[in-house]
Chains A and B, each alone.
Chain A
Amino acid sequence: MHDMHVPAVHHHAPPQGFIRKHVFSLDHKVIGEQYYGLALLAVLIGMVLSWIMRLHLGWPTLSIPGLQLLSKNGAPGGIPTPEYYLQLMTMHGTFMVFFVLTTAPFAGFGNYFLPIQVGAEDMPFPHFNMMSFWVTFVAFVVALAAFFVPDGPPLSGWTGYAPLSALGAVAGPGQGLGQVLWAASLAIFCVGQLLGSLNFISTTLDMRCKGMSMMRLPLTVWAWFITSAMGLTAFAVLMPACILLILDHVAGTSFFVASNLVVNDQLQPHSGGSTLLWQHLFWFFGHPEVYVAIVPGMGVVSHVLITNMRRPMLSHRVLIYSMAALAFLSYMVYGHHMFVSGMNPFSSIVFSFPTLAITIPSTIIVLIWIGSLYGAKLRINSASLFALGFISLFVSGGVSGFFLAQPSLDILLHATYFVVGHFHFTMAIAAIFGIFAGTYFWFSKVTGRMMNETLGKIHFWFTFVGAYSIFMPFHYLGIAGNVRRYQAFVDDYLQPLLGVHKFITVAALVTGAAQLIFLYNLIYSRFRGPKAPQNPWEATSLEWTIPSPPPFDNFGGKLPVVYHDPYQYGIEASSGDYVMQDSPEQVQTVHDEK
């Protein structure tokens, strides 16, 4: 069956020794696992930070044990000051957006599975690939270091808005060295993304095995490919923005600070710059970044659902074109983050139009998912449950997007919890559900062992109900006028909302604790889980044609030959109701090969 294999070209030999095998590895699979591990570490830190914030919001006078050890000035007696609350919030956003939502679904899964799914033995530039991880790791360490400098991390939020972010220590605790470290971390992170994106695109275009046409690529590969196209250009704009921000700190320039600014009763020496410029540069990166976080999840969810529905999506092509349209439009909508920034209102209308237009491809994608699910005999397992959860959360978050796309409504809602609820549903929790779906689906391929399905389902229900319990009330709070970034609501008209905050805090603690089930499942199954068969989900794509875990060069010194579309399910073949992509068997297909 595999007699048509052609010999593979090895551009690097199997590594010897621990360092080359596990630390400075050139193997895309090890690098993928490293990215995933980094994301796991970052998500734990980010979650603990959110717990501290939630506890403080629910019970403003509660002393959080141990917090004073983290920062004596920021949390005297374990109660965070308003500034320290913002510092925690900044680092929560920074860790989650950059080191979790970008690294795990894109760099983590993408590194591991993209080369295998296109039928390659590795990426074309393994040294760049190794560098991309270690550069990202350095960025992580630099960001983390902000906690350990005097005054701690910056308080300007993950968006680092100027002039707050550009003024230096006079603007508040953490705005000196902490902010410089933050900007440096992001600039370094951009280099890692550039190297990763270079590899992803060239692997997809140049390393496909024989018979693997572009339209035969699984939807996951398309999602990573489209994401890397965004990663290539979006991060390239963030990097100079961060460098200019650092210059404002260390070289006395005024790119992002206007003249005659008085801060804390001191006239600032800066003159002539523009605070809006930072927002333009940041959001030109920032909006594509939202899709960098979510599009890989769309690919994973499609891949998982198709496997468990036992039939392809209603339209393979339209799904791909819609993801590409999302990427294309994502560069034109960034101004909708700036409706309340003081930008010319005419610009708001101009940006509102593509923002409404981008809901069209999003809706098409969702309709394809739902239409394909309609009448399908879905196999219920942890992976497919999380995929369904992804769709649910994406729709719930997307609906509020219609409101926010209108400048007139956004002016009311922008500075409230409504927006916080919106982006946590769409880019944050939905993307996390994509990571979970991918983890439950591919765990057996990576480790050779199965995860516990019962624990997985318990984990799903806690997380799904928990996510809604946390973020749905955010919308209510926002409409009730609850402002963002305030650390306590004790003495004003928001007092009646305190009960909602308490409920959210309890939900966040329970949902967070439920993640321990996942962590236990992950670690226990890694060492003690039952041995996994090669293809437990009866899937068709190339990663399931090789042993679990895959050998060093993926296909054992050969390259596969592909004969079929990626998702030939619901047919009669010798292997069952599906035919593997590399099987030369001629089958009667119910669906046209696309």
Chain B
Amino acid sequence: MSQSDAAFDLHAPAVHARSSPFGIPTKKLAMWLFIIADAATFAGCLVAYGFLRNGTPNWPTPFKTPTVVNAGVMTFVLITSSLTILLGVRDAKLARKSQSLRWINITAVLGIIFAILHIREWFGMISEGVTLAHNPWGSALFGSAFFSITGLHLTHVAGGVVALLAVGWRYRGGRYNSDDIEILGLYWHFVDLVWMFVVPFVYLMNVAH
């Protein structure tokens, strides 16, 4: 019986003490659980946004080509960072510590570039008069929804960069191993995945036509 078969046989006594029925180390399981909860948080926000947008007849669609290009570049940077953390995890699993650390640092740099592009965009919008409570184009909810959803995501990116540097530091010192890099990678991919929902809903649906 393969491990995955055993996983679903709740009848069978656990053969080894401390063997997870799903073959997942506890830390990784906890990260998956956190991702489930965090996904519920983002889903709540996106559903609230959709609810308000549907109920607002004059919802503004102000975004023009520069915004879309900027969002495209940010998306490219973030997807690339998912690839680099993947390479970092691979190298960690192959016990190539210095290469792995290099990929982790590149990922952190890409995260920082994403954040800089994002904050630059924010300041551009604020200078055009868009705030949480007001905007020049129509329903005040546009700014509220835009800043709160992208803000929540940006907080996750910032937290992720801090986590990349902290986990990388401990990995360098030997306190963390390749499993921890993999768990960190899960989080980073999740932040990337959430962005894949933010781009169409918050950017592309609000492009001027």
Q: Write the residues of chain A forming the contact surface with B, with a CB cutoff of 8 angstroms.
A: 6, 9, 124-125, 194, 197-198, 201-202, 205-216, 232-237, 239-241, 243-244, 247, 251-255, 271-274, 276-277, 280-281, 284, 559, 562
Min CB gap B136→A, angstroms: 14
B193 at interface (Cβ–Cβ under 8 A)? no
Q: A236-B44, A237-B40 are in contact. Are A253 and B144 (CB under 8 A)?
A: yes
Contact flags B104-135 to A (C-beta < 8 A → 1, else 0): 00000000000000000000000000001110
B38 close to chain A: CB less than 8 A = yes
- With A205-B29, A213-B10 known as contacts, the answer to whether A274 contacts B140 (CB < 8 A) is no
For the complex, what is the distance from the CA of A268 to the CA of B14, rounded to whole Å? 62
Instruction: Determine how close the nearest CB of chain B comes to the CB of A229; give it in whole angstroms.
Output: 9
Q: Mark B129-153, 1 if CB is under 8 A from A, else 0.
A: 0001110000111001000100010
Between B40, B45, B52, the greatest number of chain A beta carbons within 10 A of the residue's beta carbon is seen for B40
Question: Which of chain A's residues has its CB closest to B149's CB?
Answer: A240
The total of Cβ contacts below 8 Å across the A-B interface reads 129
B contact residues around A124 at 8 Å (CB) = 26-27, 30
A–B Cβ pairs within 8 angstroms, 5 of them: A210-B13, A211-B13, A232-B37, A234-B40, A280-B51
Provide the residues of chain B in CB contact with A243, threshold 8 Å: 148
Question: A213 and B14 in contact (CB under 8 A), knowing A253-B132, A255-B48, A272-B140?
Answer: yes
Residue of B nearest to A238 (CB): B44
| CB of B209 within 8 Å of the partner chain | no
B33 touches which of A209, A232, A240, A274 (Cβ 8 Å): A232
Alpha-carbon separation in the docked complex, A205 to B22 (Å): 8
In the complex, residue of chain B having the shortest beta-carbon distance to the beta carbon of A563:
B13
Asked if B56 is at the interface of the complex by the 8 Å CB criterion, the answer is yes
Q: Is the CB of B17 within 8 A of A209?
A: yes
Q: How far is the CB of A566 from chain B (nearest CB, A)?
A: 13
* Cα A125 to Cα B34 with chains together (Å): 13
| 11 other A-B residue contacts (CB within 8 Å) besides A208-B14, A213-B14, A216-B13 | A125-B30, A213-B13, A234-B40, A236-B41, A237-B41, A254-B140, A273-B52, A274-B51, A277-B51, A280-B47, A284-B44
Indicate if the CB atoms of A274 and B152 lie closer than 8 Å. Answer: no
Interface status of B175 (Cβ within 8 A of chain A): no
Q: Does B20 contact A (CB under 8 A)?
A: yes
Q: Please judge, given known A-B contacts A206-B20, A559-B17, whether A253 and B30 are in contact too, CB under 8 Å.
A: no
Complex contact A233–B37 (CB within 8 A): yes
Assembled-state Cα–Cα distance A240/B37 (Å): 12
Q: Which residues of B contact A (CB under 8 A)?
A: 10-18, 20-22, 24-27, 29-30, 33-34, 36-38, 40-41, 43-45, 47-48, 51-52, 55-56, 132-134, 139-141, 144, 148, 152
Q: Are B51 and A213 in contact (CB under 8 A)?
A: no
Give complex CA distance A125, B41 in Å: 22
Contact A277 B48 (CB under 8 A): yes
Would you give the shortest CB distance from B197 to chain A, in whole angstroms?
Answer: 15
Asked whether A277 lies within 8 Å of B52 as measured between CB atoms, the reply is yes
User: B14 and A247: CB pair below 8 A?
Assistant: no
Q: How long is the Cα–Cα vector from A271 to B16 in the complex, in angstroms?
A: 60
Say whether chain A's binding surface is mostly helix, strand, loop, or mixed. helix
- Decide: A240 and B132 in contact? CB cutoff 8 A: no
B141 contacts A273, C-beta separation under 8 Å? yes
The answer to whether A239 and B41 have CB atoms under 8 Å apart is yes
Contact B148 A211 (CB under 8 A): no
Tell me which residues across on chain A come within 8 A of B56, comparing CB atoms: 272
* Inter-subunit contact A207/B18 (CB<8 Å): yes
A213 contacts across to B, CB distance below 8 A: 10-14
Distance in angstroms from A287 CB to nearest chain B CB is: 14
- Evaluate contact between A236 and B17: CB separation under 8 angstroms: no
Contacts A237-B40, A274-B55, A277-B52 given; does A253 touch B14 at CB 8 Å = no
The smallest beta-carbon distance between A320 and chain B, in angstroms, is 10
Min CB distance, B44 to chain A, in Å? 4
Q: B158 CB to closest chain A CB, in angstroms? A: 17
The answer for the CA separation of A6 and B18 in the assembled complex, in Å, is: 11
- When distances are taken between beta carbons in the complex, the residues of chain A under 8 Å from B13 are 210-213, 216, 562
Residues in chain A near residue B15, CB distance under 8 A: 210
Q: How far is the CB of B143 from chain A (nearest CB, A)?
A: 8
Pairs of residues from A and B, 3 with the lowest C-beta to C-beta distance, nearest first = A252-B133, A236-B40, A237-B44
Contacts of B12 in A (CB 8 A): 213
Q: Across the interface, which residues of A come within 8 angstroms of B20, CB to CB?
A: 205-206
A209 proximity list for chain B (CB < 8 A): 14, 17
Q: Which residues of A have CB within 8 Å of B47?
A: 280
Residues of A within 8 A of B44 (CB): 236-237, 240-241, 281, 284
A241 and B148 alpha carbons, distance in the complex (Å): 11
How many angstroms from the CA of A66 to the CA of B11 in the assembled complex? 60
A202 touches B26 (CB 8 A): yes
By the criterion CB–CB under 8 Å, are B132 and A212 in contact? no
Q: What are the residues of chain B within 8 A of A214 when measuring CB–CB?
A: 10, 21
Q: Are B33 and A202 in contact (CB under 8 A)?
A: yes
B139 touches A247 (CB 8 A): no
* Complex contacts, A198 vs chain B, CB 8 Å: 30, 33-34
**Cβ contact within 8 Å between A212 and B14:** yes
Q: Is the CB of A197 within 8 A of B41?
A: no
Picked from A202, A239, A254, A281, the residue with its CB within 8 Å of the CB of B29 is A202
Contact B144 A240 (CB under 8 A): no
What A residues does B33 contact at CB under 8 A? 197-198, 201-202, 232
Given the known interface contacts A215-B11, A236-B38, the answer about A253 and B48 at a Cβ–Cβ threshold of 8 Å is no
Asked if A215 and B144 make an inter-chain contact with CB atoms under 8 angstroms apart, the answer reads no
Q: Is the CB of B40 within 8 A of A6?
A: no
- Cα distance, A235 to B33, chains bound together (Å): 13
Listed residue (A202, A247, A562) with the most chain B CB atoms within 10 angstroms of its CB: A202
Question: What chain A residues lie within 8 Å of B148 (beta carbons)?
Answer: 243-244, 247, 253
Instruction: Please name the residue on chain A nearest to B29 by beta carbon.
Output: A202
Flag if B29 contacts A206 (CB, 8 Å): yes
